[in-house]
Amino acid sequence: MSTSQNRIEAFDAVDLIHAKRDRGELSTPQIDWLIDAYTRGYVGDEQMAAMTMAIFLNGMNRREIKDLTMAMLNSGERMSFAGLGKPTTDKHSTGGVGDKITLPLMPLVAVFGAAVPQLSGRGLGHTGGTLDKLESIPGWRAHLTNEEMFAQLQEFGGVICAAGGGLAPADGKLYALRDITGTVEAIPLIASSIMSKKIAEGTGALVLDVKFGSGAFLKDIERSRELAHTMVALGEDAGVATSALLTNMNVPLGLAIGNANEVRESVEVLAGGGPADVVELTVALAREMLALVGITDVDVESALTDGRAMDKWRNVIRAQGGDPDAPLPVARETHVVTATRDGVLVEQQALPFGIGAWRLGAGRARKQDPVQHAAGIDLHAKPGDTVRAGQPLFTLSADEPERFARALEAVEGAYRIGDPGEPVQDGGPLIAERIGR
Catalytic site positions: 92, 171, 178, 193, 197
> Listing from the earlier edge strand, what are the strands of the sheet with 376-379?
256-258, 376-379, 392-398, 333-338
Task: Give yes or no for a contact between 422 and 344, defined as CB atoms under 8 angstroms apart.
Answer: yes
3-class DSSP assignment, residue 45: helix
The distance from CA 387 to its chain's CA centroid, rounded to whole angstroms, is: 32
Q: What is the distance between the alpha carbons of residues 272 and 33, in angstroms, rounded to a whole number?
A: 52
3-class DSSP assignment, residue 403: helix
- Stretch (H or E) spanning 278: helix 276-292
3-class DSSP assignment, residue 171: helix
What are the start-end ranges of the E strands in 185-291?
205-212, 241-248, 256-258
366 burial class (0-12, 13-18, 19+ CB within 10 angstroms)?
exposed
Task: Give yes or no for a contact between 365 and 401, defined as CB atoms under 8 angstroms apart.
Answer: no
Taking residue 374's Cβ as centre, other Cβ atoms within 10 Å add up to 22
Task: Give yes or no for a contact between 213 and 58, defined as CB atoms under 8 angstroms apart.
Answer: no
